[in-house]
């Protein structure tokens, strides 16, 4: 049998086969992911990228190889995730550009195109590193090109190219010290080999075969068995965050953007075209990186992953259950890291622009904006379905099940958005959704108790039980020294707001058992909020009793510290109350100077 040409239909079917092969290996890729950061998500990232490509080909079709390559490139760029995903997307961009005018091609023309696409992928990186997917992609393209000079048979050419790619993959272990220490090959490179295995298999067989048995039979390529744990040292990454965005514009200078991003971190990939760019980097400054991208075009689909959290969770090993919260829970950073809690960022809307809470827009930047007394107050919006799915994927990469702890459904549409995303997920049977009936740090305390149960080895049912017990005992109090936020947001309306302002009264906000906002009392004057909070706590908890609490504030560091001192003088704490910043979800209502306190009521009979 001999294959003399490839057209749009054959390319599409081959890529579908390759996509399936890669997706089936995603779990293995996650487990051997040690470079550039051992955060265990290369498989999930490459699978997300190739699924986007496959979905793009499923909804549209072209008979020409150039048209199909363009459909694949655009879909991959839009859905690209992670370092290897962005590199793969740029490879398809280069392929599409080179084959743009072609209806069908023979081996020599195809080989020239993949050679050009390989160079395009390498050029997308600010600092290409040998021993990664870039090396294997290059070696494969060169082998394909060599064979094409003497053969017009795609079967022969792709077989030789696959053999060269596998040999190159084996050499990655020796090229990078991190891989040699772990005794594995590069995860991104293995993902690419899996992709071309699927393509080559289809071209040879002429149909998409069931590949699961084959996928389970040659894991020796990766240097790790299915049952052994990868030796991870748990060391922290150089930069904390993996940052990505799609940028839409006109005549964008990709090289200039690539250079501009170098000041913020490394692992920089700028893929795409003058109209659409997918930018990827590792950095400690997400908001600054996004601001740099905005100078070139409109930033869409921003994504930030916490690699420090991912590496620590990967090093801790697989758990029966993981916990996910949303950023409106205002969980202190040290608790998220200690307990492995993934958080889905809500969106903050400022002057028609959307920012990721706490990442695309830092707490300091949000506070600075509030101080300008804007005519149009900020609002918040629920996370996107893609943001939820991303966090679900990350959590399930290291756990059998996951529980999403959301803020009160009576106060926000975020929980319902998380529920829809969970029900629509490919992993729906492994996901649970829990309404904390709380907001801000009280929701954070519920998530903390759930995560402690998960860390102790509880399954999803055990985690849900811990969350329910915590939600039944937690209490939130918020002192709002100014009324501006409450009146602007509509929480304090009309005559009631004017009367409160006239008499110098300020409210203490809480959340009722029904999950709705309520008043816990009033206090006189803007400086007496802390005293009122301590007074209300004293009604719930006898002095000298054990207490657990989290404090959050909006630019009120001294008041938050004063409240912490007052609590520690009156009650017994295993660890001092954590102090964090109040997120936009509640800060827009509480306003500047607001202080929130969440604590547990004594158990019944204690």
Residue 243 has a pLDDT of 95
3-state secondary structure of 9: helix
**pLDDT: is 604 or 553 the higher one?**
553
As a dihedral over the C-alpha atoms of residue 259, residue 263, residue 265, residue 269, rounded to 10 degrees, the angle is: -10
**What is the bridge-based pairing of β-strands 431-435 and 578-581?**
unpaired
- Give me the DSSP letters along 395-454: HHTSEEEEEEEESPTTT-SHHHHHHHHHHHSTTGGGEEEEE----HHHHHHHHHHHHHHH
Structure-block tokens of residue 297: 């075009």
What is the mean pLDDT of the segment spanning 198-205?
85
Cis preceding linkage at 36, omega within 30: yes
Residue 221 has a pLDDT of 46
Residue 463 has a pLDDT of 98
Q: What are the tens digits of pLDDT across the range 313-350?
A: 888 889 999 999 989 999 999 999 999 999 999 988 88
The answer, yes or no, to whether residue 43 has pLDDT greater than 80, is: yes
HSE-up (13 A, CA, CB side) for residue 240: 8
pTM of the entire predicted model: 0.84
551 phi/psi in degrees, rounded to 5: -115, 140
- CA 232 – CA 32 distance, rounded (Å): 9
Structure-block tokens of residue 295: 């100078």
Q: What are the tens digits of pLDDT across the range 349-381?
A: 888 788 888 888 877 888 888 888 777 778 888
As a dihedral over the C-alpha atoms of residue 6, residue 11, residue 13, residue 19, rounded to 10 degrees, the angle is: 140
What is the mean pLDDT of the segment spanning 270-287?
94
The answer, yes or no, to whether residue 492 has pLDDT greater than 50, is: no
- Residues paired with 519 in a beta bridge: 509
Q: Confidence band (pLDDT; 50, 70, 90) for 406?
A: very high
The answer, yes or no, to whether residue 219 has pLDDT greater than 60, is: no
The answer, yes or no, to whether residue 491 has pLDDT greater than 50, is: no
How far is C-alpha 72 from the geometric centre of its chain's CA atoms?
A: 23
Domains of the chain listed by start with CATH number:
6-222 (1.25.40.340), 238-316 (3.30.70.980), 474-600 (3.30.1180.10)
Instruction: Please state, as a whole number, how many other Cβ atoms lie within 10 Å of the Cβ of residue 514.
Output: 9
The answer, yes or no, to whether residue 251 has pLDDT greater than 80, is: yes
Structure-block tokens of residue 469: 């017990």
Burial of 174 by CB count in 10 Å (0-12 exposed, 13-18 middle, 19+ buried)?
Answer: exposed
Average pLDDT, the chain: 88
The answer, yes or no, to whether residue 418 has pLDDT greater than 80, is: yes
Residue 212 has a pLDDT of 38
Residue 280 has a pLDDT of 96
Residue 483 has a pLDDT of 57
Residue 211 has a pLDDT of 38
The answer, yes or no, to whether residue 228 has pLDDT greater than 60, is: no
Residue 504 has a pLDDT of 61
- CA 132 – CA 117 distance, rounded (Å): 16
586 contacts 407 by C-beta, under 8 angstroms: no
Residue 218 has a pLDDT of 43
Residue 214 has a pLDDT of 41
- CA 60 – CA 302 distance, rounded (Å): 26
Q: What are the tens digits of pLDDT across the range 505-532?
A: 788 989 999 999 888 988 887 678 999 9
What percent of the chain is predicted at pLDDT more than 70? 91
Give residues with Cβ within 8 angstroms of 362, minimum separation 6: 287
What is the mean pLDDT of the segment spanning 90-108?
96
Q: Choose among 310, 281, 247: nearest CA to 43.
A: 310
The answer, yes or no, to whether residue 220 has pLDDT greater than 90, is: no
283 phi/psi in degrees, rounded to 5: -160, 165
The answer, yes or no, to whether residue 205 has pLDDT greater than 70, is: yes
- CA 535 – CA 54 distance, rounded (Å): 60
3-state secondary structure of 137: helix
Residue 496 has a pLDDT of 46
Q: Confidence band (pLDDT; 50, 70, 90) for 480?
A: confident
**pLDDT: is 605 or 276 the higher one?**
276
- Give me the DSSP letters along 306-335: EHHHHHHHHHH--EEEEEEEEGGG---HHH
3-state secondary structure of 536: helix
Structure-block tokens of residue 370: 């509030």
What is the mean pLDDT of the segment spanning 535-564?
96
- Give me the DSSP letters along 179-191: HHHHT---HHHHH
Residue 590 has a pLDDT of 74
Angle between the N-to-C axes of helices 133-148 and 187-205, in degrees from 0 to 180, rounded to the nearest 10:
30
Q: What angle do CA 337, 343, 348 make, to 5 degrees?
A: 130
Residue 242: its H or E element: strand 241-248
């Amino acid at each position: 049998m001999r294959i003399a040409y490839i057209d749009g239909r054959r390319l599409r079917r081959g890529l579908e086969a390759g996509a399936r092969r890669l997706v089936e290996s995603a779990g293995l890729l996650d487990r051997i992911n040690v470079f550039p950061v051992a955060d265990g998500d290369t498989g999930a990232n490459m699978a997300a990228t190739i699924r986007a490509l496959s979905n793009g080909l499923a909804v549209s079709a072209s008979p020409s190889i150039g048209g199909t390559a363009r459909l694949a490139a655009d879909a991959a760029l839009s859905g690209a995730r992670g370092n290897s995903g962005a590199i793969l997307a740029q490879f398809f961009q280069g392929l599409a550009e080179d084959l743009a005018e072609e209806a069908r091609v023979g081996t020599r023309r195809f080989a020239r195109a993949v050679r050009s696409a390989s160079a395009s992928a390498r050029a997308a990186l600010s600092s290409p590193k040998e021993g990664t997917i870039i090396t294997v992609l290059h070696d494969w393209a060169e082998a394909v090109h060599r064979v094409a000079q003497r053969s017009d048979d795609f079967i022969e050419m792709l077989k030789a190219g696959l053999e060269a790619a596998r040999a190159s993959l084996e050499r990655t272990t020796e090229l990078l010290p991190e891989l040699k220490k772990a005794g594995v090959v590069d995860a991104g490179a293995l993902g690419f080999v899996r992709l071309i295995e699927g393509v080559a298999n289809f071209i040879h067989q002429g149909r998409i075969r069931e590949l699961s048995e084959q996928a389970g039979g040659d894991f020796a390529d990766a240097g790790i068995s299915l049952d052994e744990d990868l030796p991870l040292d748990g060391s922290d990454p150089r930069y904390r965050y993996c940052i990505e965005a799609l940028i839409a514009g006109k005549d964008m200078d990709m090289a200039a953007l690539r250079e501009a991003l170098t000041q913020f971190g490394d692992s920089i990939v700028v893929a795409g075209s003058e109209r659409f760019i997918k930018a990827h980097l590792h950095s400690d400054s997400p908001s600054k990186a996004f601001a740099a991208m905005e100078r070139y075009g409109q930033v869409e689909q921003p994504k930030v992953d916490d690699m420090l959290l991912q590496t620590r969770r990967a090093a801790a090993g697989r758990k029966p259950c993981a916990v996910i919260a949303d950023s409106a829970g205002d969980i202190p950073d040290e608790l998220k890291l200690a307990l492995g809690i993934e958080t889905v960022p809500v969106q903050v809307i400022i002057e028609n622009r959307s920012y990721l809470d706490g990442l695309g827009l830092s707490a300091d930047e949000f506070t600075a904006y509030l101080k300008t007394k804007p005519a149009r107050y900020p609002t918040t919006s629920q996370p996107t379905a893609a943001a939820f799915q991303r966090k679900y994927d990350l959590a399930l990469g290291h756990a059998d099940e996951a529980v999403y702890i959301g803020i009160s459904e009576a106060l926000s549409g975020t929980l319902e958005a998380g529920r829809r995303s969970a029900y629509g997920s490919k992993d729906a049977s492994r996901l649970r959704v829990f309404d904390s009936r709380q907001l801000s740090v009280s929701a954070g305390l519920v998530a903390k108790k759930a995560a402690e149960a998960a860390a102790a080895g509880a399954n999803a049912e055990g985690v849900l039980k811990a969350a329910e017990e915590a939600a039944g005992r937690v209490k939130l109090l918020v002192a709002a020294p100014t009324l501006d936020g409450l009146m602007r947001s509509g929480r304090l309306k009309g005559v009631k707001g004017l009367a409160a302002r006239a008499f110098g009264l300020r409210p203490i906000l809480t959340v009722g058992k029904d999950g709705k906002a309520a008043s816990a009392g009033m206090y006189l004057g803007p400086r007496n909020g802390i005293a009122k909070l301590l007074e209300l706590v004293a009604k719930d908890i006898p002095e000298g009793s054990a207490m657990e609490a989290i404090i959050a504030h909006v630019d009120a560091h001294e008041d938050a510290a004063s409240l912490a001192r007052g609590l520690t003088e009156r009650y017994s704490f295993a660890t001092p109350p954590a102090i964090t910043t109040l997120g936009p979800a509640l800060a827009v209502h509480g306003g500047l100077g607001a202080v929130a306190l969440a604590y547990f009521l004594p158990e019944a009979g204690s």
